[in-house]
Structure formats: C-alpha cells, structure tokens
Structure 1
Amino acid sequence: MFHPQQEQGQPSCRQNTEETDTDSDESEYNKAPDAPLTPHNMQTMLRKATTDIKSHLASELDKRLSGIKEDIESLTSRTNHMEARIKELTTSSQAHSQDSTYLHAKIEAMEESLEDLNNRSQRNNIQIRGLPEAVTMEGLHNVLKGLFKSILPEASAQDLLLYRAHRALRPQGHNGPPAFLRN
C-alpha cells in the first residue's frame, strides 16, 4: 500500500491505524468532511467503503441464495414426486405386461381348443363335390339319399339318416353335373 514519507514527530499510517480504533477514525472523518486527504483519512474511507460493500454483497448474496435454495427445494420435491410416480407406473406396467402375457397364452389355448372341437364336430361330415346347381335346397336331402343308396345298396334307411345338408357358397362349376348324376 502507499506509504507517504513520515513527517517528524508523526507516527506512520500503520502505527496510527494500529493505535486508533476504526470507529474513532470514522467519526473523526465524519466530523470534518472538508478535512484534507491524508493517508489516514483515505485508509478510513477505504475501510468504510469496503465494509459497506461487504455488507451489501452479503445481504444480496443472502437474498439470492435464499431464492436459489427455495428453487432447489421445489425442484427436489418435484423430482421426488416424479420418481415416486415413475416407480408406481413401472410397477403397474410390469403387472399389465404379465397380465397381457397370461391372457395371450389363455387366448391361444382357447383357440386351439375351439379348433379341436370344431374339427371333432366335423369328423362325420361328408363333402360332396360336383352336384349340379339345379338341385335346390328342398330336394337336396332326397338327391343325397339317392346318391348314398347307389353307392351303398345294402345300407338301410336307418343308416342313411342325414342331420343336415347344405350347399357351399362357391361359384358354380363349369364342367356340368358329375357322371353319376348324368342319366
């Protein structure tokens, strides 16, 4: 720091500041604002300005830090809430995934069972191809009984019972009636 030459009989600035109290320095300076600028007065002014700046900075920092702390606490709370919600959704999603896997397995088993039942119910069915379109639904039973009687002449009427007969919904054939129906 700046050290002016000492006048005889006056203590140095360092000695003077060590000997006097800062409050008394400030009060001396405040009492005489038009006093000449001496190193001692400059040092006093710098101390006062430094103290004012420090206190102002400290109060501003406290204000800003308290705002930042509130923001951090808010973010922490929101983050904790979101983590809890994500954990809950993950657990729920896993449960739904397990349920979905179970239900898919059950549906596949039911489809296989339904196909098996359908196949078993149709094992006594006979498909006859080549019946002429001229045969109506009303005459279908009689035509089929006559056909089976011509194939199995020894079969009794009881053996040739038909539970139902229907036509397949297909386009009409181009070759005409089959040979066994042509007379």
Structure 2
Amino acid sequence: MTPADITTQPHGADGSMASEDSAPSSPASDLQTGGTERPPWLDLLRALPTKEDLRSATSELGAMIRQHIQALRADMQGLSDRVSHVEAACDSLRVAQTSLAEAADTCSEQVRGMALHIKDLDNRGRRNNIRLRGLPETKDSPLQLRENLMEIFNGLLGRYLQAPIDFVRAQRALRPKGTPDSPPMDVICCLANFALKETIL
C-alpha cells in the first residue's frame, strides 16, 4: 500500500478504516428507520386535495349551477307568460280598433246622409220663399207687414184684398244699418202653399 492510498481512505475515530455502516443515510432510510426529522415535501403531498375533496367540490359546484339554471328557467317562464299576455292584449286592442274604425265609418256615412237631408230640407223650405224689393220701410209690426203682403198678393191674383193667405213667416232681410238714402231692406216671406207661390210669381 502506498502513502497516497493511505491518505485517501477515511479513518475512524480510533484511526482505523471506516466501515460501510458509517456512510450517510438517505431520507427514505430515515423514514424506514423512524428518524425524527420530516422532509418538507411530505407536508406538500399531504396538503394536496384528495378524490373525495374533488368530488365534494364538484358536487357543490353542480348544485350551484343547477340552482342558477332553475332561476333562469323561472325567469324565462315569467317572460314567456308576460309576452303571451301582451300578445293577447294586442290582439284584443286590434279587434277593438277594427270595430271602432267600422263604427267611425258608419257614423261618417250617417253624418253625411244627415247633412244632405238637412240641405234638402233647407232647399225645400226656401223654395216657398218670395223676396220683395222696394217695399218702403215703416215702423209697422210683423202683423201689419203680413197684412200689407196679403193686399199686394191678392191684388196680383185679382182676388179680394183681405182674402186670407197662409204665411209660414214674413220678415225683412237683415243687413248692416245703412244711410237714410239707402234702399229699403228686402222682405222675405214663406208661403205654406207652393202652388200659390208659383201663381203669384
């Protein structure tokens, strides 16, 4: 044995050669032999979630998702009911609007017919009118005006001057007050008998 070989070999406390039993121990040998020091990776392994933890978390998440889906379904059902109610209300309003439009058209036709009827009655009332111009204005009453008209018409007909004539109305036409030199206001009289009016004319 050379001196170099002697210096490279470890010695024990008593100067003898160290045996294989004095080699440093590994972490696995510490766990097997019950060593007092615990490696840090063991706590990390124990802190990792297990299958039961993942299963419980998944079940809780699924329950929350199902609750939200049920709430969304309830909201959708409420919206569907409200849309159905609005559509029904729109249909009823459309029917009411149609009926109102038909009633308005009917009323319009009736008003048009009444206007034509009133115009016809007005024309029928005027066709018995006679207008006299140039009759001097006096402060006589309407009764005296009718007596004067009776004398004029009976004279035209060649009858007795006081013969009765049926007047519906007799009055002077209305107009703004004129000057003293302005012509007298016309006299308008309506006879009850159309044939008599034609004979006088």
Q: Same fold (TM over 0.5)?
A: yes
Residue 73 of structure 1, CA deviation: 0.7
- Alignment gaps of 5+ in structure 2: 1-27, 29-40, 186-201
* Structure 2 partner of 1:36: 42
Residue 48 of structure 1, CA deviation: 4.5
Supply the RMSD in Å over aligned alpha carbons. Answer: 3.4
Which of 62, 68, 71 lines up with 1:67 in the alignment?
71
Question: Deviations 1:78-103 (Å, cap 9, x if unpaired)?
Answer: 11011011101101110110111022
Provide the TM-score with structure 2 as the length reference: 0.57
Which of 98, 102, 107 lines up with 2:102 in the alignment?
98
Letter in 1 for 2:165: L
Task: Please give the secondary structure, in 2, of the residue aligned with 1:171.
Answer: coil
The worse-fitting range, judged by mean Cα deviation, of 114-123 and 83-92 is 114-123
Residue 162 of structure 1, CA deviation: 3.9
The worse-fitting range, judged by mean Cα deviation, of 132-141 and 46-55 is 46-55
Question: CA contact under 8 A between 1:148 and 1:160: conserved in structure 2?
Answer: no
Considering fraction of residues, name the structure with more strand: 2
Letter in 1 for 2:176: P
Seen in structure 2, the aligned counterparts of structure 1 residues 166 and 154 have a Cα distance that, compared at 3 Å, is: same
Question: CA contact under 8 A between 1:141 and 1:165: conserved in structure 2?
Answer: yes
Seen in structure 2, the aligned counterparts of structure 1 residues 111 and 96 have a Cα distance that, compared at 3 Å, is: same
Provide the TM-score with structure 1 as the length reference: 0.62
The worse-fitting range, judged by mean Cα deviation, of 164-173 and 139-148 is 164-173
Letter in 2 for 1:127: R
Question: CA contact under 8 A between 2:134 and 2:184: conserved in structure 1?
Answer: yes
Question: CA contact under 8 A between 1:130 and 1:177: conserved in structure 2?
Answer: yes
Partner Cα distance (1:171, 1:111) in 2: 30
Question: Deviations 1:143-177 (Å, cap 9, x if unpaired)?
Answer: 22344456x37355598724131344443343154
Seen in structure 2, the aligned counterparts of structure 1 residues 121 and 47 have a Cα distance that, compared at 3 Å, is: same
Structure possessing the higher radius of gyration over alpha carbons? 2
Residue 127 of structure 1, CA deviation: 2.6
* Structure 1 partner of 2:170: 165
* Structure 2 partner of 1:123: 127
Partner Cα distance (1:149, 1:173) in 2: 31
The worse-fitting range, judged by mean Cα deviation, of 135-144 and 84-93 is 135-144
Question: Deviations 1:84-133 (Å, cap 9, x if unpaired)?
Answer: 11101101110110111022012101210221122112201113355526
- Alignment gaps of 5+ in structure 1: 1-7, 9-34, 179-183
Partner Cα distance (1:76, 1:91) in 2: 23
Which of 145, 151, 164 lines up with 2:150 in the alignment?
145
Seen in structure 2, the aligned counterparts of structure 1 residues 103 and 142 have a Cα distance that, compared at 3 Å, is: same
Seq. identity, %: 25
* Structure 2 partner of 1:12: none
Question: CA contact under 8 A between 2:154 and 2:163: conserved in structure 1?
Answer: no
